[in-house]
C-alpha cells in the first residue's frame, strides 16, 4: 500500500522523463557492448543497426524530427527488447552551405560584415561556434524525445575521423577516374558565390515579359534579353519549311543590340518548331540546352555574365551593370533601335533559386569537380549479389542494381519508382563548392600562373604533399559527399574496425521521402563503390509533418512549433503516440495539439491502471507464485497472446500505426473497460485467496502491456515498471528497456 500513496491521480511527465532518461544513460543499455557485458543480449545474438539521419547544425529541431525520431526509436526499442544487439548511432551534419549561409546572414545583420571582412580562418571560427551551439541544442532535443541512441558513438560529419573517410573516398574515386575536374554547365549562385548541385535548386514560378526581337530576317523570342549580346548563332529545325531557304552554316549580316554582327545559321533537331517562331538564338555559356547545341556543332562559347551577376565587356555600354537592372535598359535600347517587335506581358516561367539561401541561379560554364556516374570502371571488390569483383559497371548501374534486385528494399514500395526514375536521369554530380565551411578538397597545386590557371603539378592525396609551393584547392566538398558516407564512416571506415564488421550493412534507414535523391541515393552510390556493399537492407520513408491546416512548417510562415513546448505541456509519450497512431507509412501528417492531448489522456489512463493494480498489490503478496486461472481468465490470456502476436507482426512489418492502435484499443477498451471492471467484484470481495488470485491475473496482463507499449511510450512504461512488484514467473527485475519482448 505504501507505494501507491506516492502515485498521484494524474501522471506528471515532468517529474519522470528527465530522471528516467538519465537512468537509461547511466545503465549503458543504449550501447550494445554494454548490453552484452550486462547480459541483456549475447555476443552471438542477431544485429539490428541504424544510423540517425544527422540533423543539420543550423538551429533547432522541428516536429518533423520528432516524428522521425519516434519511428526510429520504436524500431530500436523493439529490437533491443527482442534481445538483438541493437545499435543506433547519433550525430549531426555540418550542412556546409546551409550553415555557412546562416552564419553569414547573422554576421551581416548583427555586425554589418561579410565573411571576407573576417577572413577564412576567423569566419570559420564563428561558424564552428555556431555549429557547436546548435549541436548542443539538437542533442538536448533528441534526448527529450526519449531516443535510445548510443551517445558514446556520436559523430559529426566534420570530425577528424570522418574527414579521413572523406579524403580517402575522394582519393580512391579520383584514382579510379570516377572523380574528375572539368568544365561543364553548372548552377552558379551569384549571391553566395558558389556552385550548387541540381538537387539543391528550388524552382519558383515568375511572371515576366516575353519579348519578340528582330534578329536579321528572323524574329526570336526571349524572356531574358540581357543575355543576348553574345548570340551570334541562330538555330532552327532542319525540317522547318518556313526556313528552308537558309542553309546550315550560312552567314548573315544583321544589326544587333550594340551594332552590326555576323550571325551563323545552325540547323538542329532540338528546336521545337511549334514554339514561338521556331527560331532561336543561343547563349551557350549560360544555358544547358544552348550549350549542348553548341557542343554538337563546335560553336564558340562566350561568357556574358560574370560571377557577381554583372555584365561583361561583351555587353558594351552595359558592361558592369547587374543583370537585374540591365534588362529594362536593354529593352529600352532595343525599342529605340526598332528591334523590339512586340512584348507579351503574361508570360510565366520558372526560375531556379538556391534552396539553401534564395539566390537566383545563373547557369555558367565553369570548372568544377564532378563524380562521373555513367563512366564504366572495374569493380574493385564486391559483396553485392551478382556484381562481381573486376566486373565492368557504372555507379548508376550499382545504384539501380541493388534496388531492383531487392538487396535494398524501399518502403513504401511506391518510392522505388521515384528512385529508379531519378537514378536513370542522373547527371554527373558536381561535388565542389566555393564555400569555406566544409571538407577541404584534398588536392594540391604547384605553380599557378597569374590568371589562376594551373599549369603546374597537381597532387591528389589523403595527406598534403611534401615539398614547398603546394597550395590546397580552396574549395570544399558538397555536404552530401560526407553525409553520403554516414552509414559506414560512423562505423570507422576506412579502418576495418569491429563496429564496421559487426554492424554493417545497417538494418534500416528511416529518412523523410523528400531526401531520397539528396541523401539515400548518394549513400547507395558511395557505399556501393567504396565498400562494394549495400549501406542498409531497408529504407523506410516517412512523410512530412505539416501544420493543422496542411501547410509546411517554415520560418517564413511563422507556424513553427518547438517539440519541447509540446513535451512540456503533454509529455513525450503523448507526442510520440500522436505521431504514430493513424499515420500510414509514407503519408504526410497534420500536426494537431488535440491529438496530442488525446494521447496524454491515454498516458494518464495507463498510469491509473497501474495505480489501481498497485492499490491491490498487498493482496498479491499473500498469493502463491503460481495461481490457477479460471476458464474466463484463460480466455482473456489467450486473447492477450493473440494481441502480442499481432503487435509483433505489425512491428516486424513496419506497421507502427497498426501496432500502436491495437495496443491503445486493447489497453483502454478491453483491459480497463472490460477485464478490470469484471474483475473488480472478486478483487474487492471477501475471499482473500480470490482477491490475490485476481491481483495476480491483472498484473500478468498489465506487465505484458507495459512491455508492448514500451517502444511507443518509453517513459511512462519504464516509470510504472520500476514500481511494480515482480510479476508472475519473472525472477529478476530488469529495466523495462531490456526486458524480454513477450512471446
Partner RNA sequence: GGGCGCUUAGCUCAGUGGUAGAGCGCUGCUUUUACACAGCAGAGGCCCAAGGUCCGAUCCCUUGAGCGCCCACCA
Ranges within 535-564 binding RNA (CB under 7 A):
550
DSSP 8: -
Minimum Å distance from CB 211 to RNA?
A: 10
Beta-carbon contacts of residue 316 (< 8 Å; ≥ 6 apart)? 229, 257, 258, 259
Site string for RNA, 163-202 (x = CB under 7 A): -----------------------------------xx---
Minimum Å distance from CB 517 to RNA?
A: 6
Stretch that binds RNA, among 47-55, 70-78, 99-107, 576-584 (CB under 7 A): 576-584
Is the alpha carbon torsion for 265, 269, 272, 274 positive or negative?
positive
Site string for RNA, 336-355 (x = CB under 7 A): -------------xx-----
The correct pick among 180, 307, 377, 612 for binding RNA (CB under 7 A) is 612
Taking the least distance from each CB to RNA, the nearer of 252 and 273 is 273
Minimum Å distance from CB 549 to RNA?
A: 8
Distances (CA, A) of 370 to 151, 265, 272, 477: 35, 33, 31, 10
Minimum Å distance from CB 667 to RNA?
A: 10
- Phi, psi for residue 518 in degrees, rounded to 5: -60, -40
- Helices 395-404/521-530 angle, 10° precision: 110
**Edge-first strand listing for the sheet containing 429-430:** 194-196, 179-189, 362-371, 429-430
How many residues bind RNA (CB under 7 A)? The answer is: 72
Ranges within 625-684 binding RNA (CB under 7 A):
657-658, 661, 664-665, 668-669, 672-673, 676-677, 684
What gap in Å lies between CA 724 and CA 707, rounded to an integer? 13
> Any contact of residue 421 with RNA (CB under 7 A)?
yes
The correct pick among 41, 194, 489, 517 for binding RNA (CB under 7 A) is 517
Minimum Å distance from CB 221 to RNA?
A: 5
Taking the least distance from each CB to RNA, the nearer of 332 and 673 is 673
Taking the least distance from each CB to RNA, the nearer of 177 and 584 is 584
CB 486 within 8 A of CB 30: no
What gap in Å lies between CA 630 and CA 615, rounded to an integer? 22
The correct pick among 425, 466, 556, 628 for binding RNA (CB under 7 A) is 425
Ranges within 460-479 binding RNA (CB under 7 A):
none
> Any contact of residue 360 with RNA (CB under 7 A)?
no
Taking the least distance from each CB to RNA, the nearer of 452 and 686 is 686
Taking the least distance from each CB to RNA, the nearer of 538 and 597 is 597
Minimum Å distance from CB 593 to RNA?
A: 10
Minimum Å distance from CB 613 to RNA?
A: 8
Minimum Å distance from CB 597 to RNA?
A: 7
The correct pick among 608, 630, 670, 734 for binding RNA (CB under 7 A) is 608
What gap in Å lies between CA 666 and CA 705, rounded to an integer? 9
Q: What residue has cell string 538494418? A: 507
Q: What residue has cell string 523590339? A: 340
Ranges within 40-69 binding RNA (CB under 7 A):
none
Closest CA to 567 of 713, 427, 454, 695: 713
DSSP 628: P
For residue 172, is the peptide bond before it cis, meaning its omega torsion is within 30 degrees of 0? Answer: no
DSSP 92-144: EB--HHHHHHHHHHHHHHHH---HHHH-HHHHHHHHHHHHHHHHHHHHHHHHH
CB atoms within 10 A of CB 329: 14
CB atoms within 10 A of CB 112: 8
Taking the least distance from each CB to RNA, the nearer of 274 and 496 is 274
> Any contact of residue 588 with RNA (CB under 7 A)?
yes
Ranges within 267-326 binding RNA (CB under 7 A):
270-281, 287-289, 292
What gap in Å lies between CA 303 and CA 294, rounded to an integer? 13
Beta-carbon contacts of residue 126 (< 8 Å; ≥ 6 apart)? 103, 107, 118
Ranges within 2-31 binding RNA (CB under 7 A):
9-11
Site string for RNA, 381-420 (x = CB under 7 A): ---------------------------------x--xx--
Ranges within 205-224 binding RNA (CB under 7 A):
220-224
Taking the least distance from each CB to RNA, the nearer of 264 and 288 is 288
Amino acid at each position: 500500500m505504501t507505494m501507491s500513496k506516492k502515485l498521484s491521480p494524474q501522471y506528471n511527465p515532468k517529474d519522470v522523463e528527465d530522471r528516467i532518461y538519465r537512468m537509461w544513460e547511466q545503465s549503458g543499455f543504449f550501447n550494445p557492448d554494454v548490453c552484452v557485458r550486462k547480459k541483456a543480449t549475447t555476443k552471438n545474438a542477431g544485429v539490428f543497426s541504424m544510423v540517425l539521419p544527422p540533423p543539420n547544425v543550423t538551429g533547432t529541431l522541428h516536429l518533423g524530427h520528432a516524428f522521425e525520431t519516434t519511428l526510429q526509436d520504436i524500431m530500436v526499442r523493439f529490437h533491443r527488447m527482442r534481445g538483438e544487439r541493437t545499435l543506433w548511432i547519433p550525430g549531426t551534419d555540418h550542412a556546409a552551405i546551409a550553415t555557412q549561409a546562416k552564419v553569414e546572414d547573422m554576421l551581416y545583420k548583427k555586425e554589418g560584415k561579410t565573411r571576407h571582412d573576417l577572413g577564412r580562418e576567423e569566419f570559420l571560427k564563428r561558424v564552428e561556434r555556431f555549429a557547436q551551439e546548435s549541436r548542443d541544442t539538437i542533442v538536448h532535443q533528441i534526448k527529450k524525445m526519449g531516443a535510445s541512441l548510443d551517445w558514446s558513438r556520436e559523430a559529426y560529419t566534420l570530425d577528424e575521423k570522418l574527414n579521413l573517410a572523406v579524403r580517402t573516398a575522394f582519393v580512391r574515386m579520383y584514382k579510379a577516374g570516377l572523380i574528375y575536374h572539368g568544365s561543364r554547365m553548372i548552377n552558379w549562385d551569384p549571391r553566395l558565390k558558389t556552385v550548387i548541385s541540381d538537387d539543391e535548386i528550388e524552382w519558383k514560378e515568375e511572371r515576366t515579359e516575353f519579348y519578340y526581337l528582330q534578329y536579321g530576317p528572323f524574329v526570336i523570342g526571349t524572356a531574358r534579353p540581357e543575355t543576348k549580346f553574345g548570340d551570334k548563332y541562330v538555330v532552327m529545325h532542319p525540317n522547318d519549311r518556313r526556313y528552308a531557304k537558309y542553309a546550315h552554316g550560312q552567314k548573315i549580316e544583321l544589326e544587333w543590340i550594340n551594332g552590326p554582327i555576323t550571325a551563323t545559321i545552325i540547323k538542329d533537331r532540338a528546336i521545337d518548331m511549334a514554339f514561338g517562331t521556331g527560331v532561336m538564338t543561343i547563349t551557350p555559356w549560360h544555358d544547358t540546352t544552348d550549350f549542348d547545341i553548341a557542343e554538337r556543332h563546335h560553336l564558340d562559347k562566350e561568357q556574358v555574365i560574370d560571377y557577381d551577376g554583372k555584365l561583361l565587356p561583351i555587353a558594351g555600354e552595359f558592361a558592369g551593370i547587374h543583370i537585374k537592372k540591365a534588362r529594362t535598359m536593354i529593352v529600352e535600347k532595343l525599342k529605340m533601335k526598332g528591334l523590339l517587335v512586340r512584348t507579351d506581358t503574361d508570360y510565366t516561367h520558372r526560375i531556379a533559386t538556391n534552396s539553401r539561401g534564395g539566390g537566383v541561379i545563373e547557369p555558367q560554364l565553369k570548372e568544377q569537380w564532378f563524380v562521373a556516374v555513367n563512366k564504366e570502371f572495374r569493380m574493385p571488390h564486391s559483396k553485392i549479389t551478382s556484381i562481381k569483383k573486376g566486373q565492368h559497371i557504372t555507379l548508376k548501374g550499382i545504384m539501380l542494381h541493388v534496388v531492383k534486385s531487392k538487396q535494398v528494399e524501399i518502403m513504401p514500395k511506391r518510392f522505388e519508382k521515384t528512385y529508379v526514375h531519378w537514378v536513370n536521369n542522373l547527371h554527373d554530380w558536381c561535388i565542389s563548392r566555393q564555400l569555406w565551411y566544409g571538407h577541404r578538397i584534398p588536392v594540391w597545386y604547384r605553380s599557378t600562373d597569374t590568371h589562376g590557371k594551373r599549369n603546374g603539378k597537381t597532387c591528389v592525396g589523403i595527406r598534403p604533399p611534401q615539398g614547398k609551393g603546394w597550395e590546397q584547392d580552396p574549395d570544399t566538398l558538397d555536404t552530401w559527399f560526407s553525409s553520403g558516407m554516414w552509414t559506414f564512416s560512423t562505423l570507422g571506415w576506412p579502418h576495418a574496425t569491429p563496429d564496421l564488421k559487426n554492424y554493417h550493412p545497417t538494418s534500416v534507414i528511416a529518412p523523410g521521402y523528400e531526401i531520397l535523391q539528396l541523401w539515400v541515393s548518394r549513400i547507395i552510390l558511395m557505399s556501393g563503390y567504396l565498400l562494394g556493399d549495400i549501406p542498409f537492407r531497408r529504407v523506410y520513408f516517412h512523410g512530412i509533418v505539416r501544420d493543422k491546416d496542411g501547410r509546411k512548417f517554415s520560418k517564413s510562415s511563422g507556424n513553427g512549433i518547438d517539440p519541447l513546448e509540446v513535451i512540456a505541456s503533454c509529455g513525450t509519450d503523448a507526442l510520440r503516440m500522436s505521431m504514430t497512431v493513424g499515420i500510414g507509412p509514407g503519408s504526410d501528417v497534420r500536426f494537431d495539439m488535440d491529438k496530442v492531448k488525446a494521447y496524454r489522456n491515454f498516458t494518464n489512463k495507463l498510469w491509473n491502471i497501474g495505480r489501481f493494480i498497485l492499490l491491490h498489490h498487498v493482496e498479491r503478496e499473500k498469493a502463491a507464485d503460481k495461481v490457477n486461472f479460471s476458464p474466463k481468465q484463460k480466455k482473456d490470456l489467450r486473447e492477450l497472446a493473440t494481441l502480442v502476436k499481432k503487435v509483433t507482426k505489425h512491428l516486424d512489418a513496419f506497421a507502427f500505426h497498426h501496432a500502436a492502435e491495437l495496443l491503445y484499443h486493447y489497453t483502454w477498451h478491453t483491459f480497463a473497460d472490460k477485464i478490470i471492471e469484471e474483475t473488480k467484484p472478486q478483487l474487492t470481495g471477501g475471499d482473500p485467496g480470490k482477491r490475490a488470485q485476481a491481483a495476480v491475473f491483472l498484473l500478468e496482463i498489465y506487465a505484458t502491456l507495459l512491455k508492448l507499449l514500451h517502444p511507443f511510450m518509453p517513459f511512462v512504461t519504464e516509470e510504472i515498471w520500476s514500481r511494480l512488484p515482480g510479476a508472475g514467473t519473472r525472477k529478476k527485475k530488469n529495466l523495462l528497456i531490456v526486458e524480454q519482448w513477450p512471446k
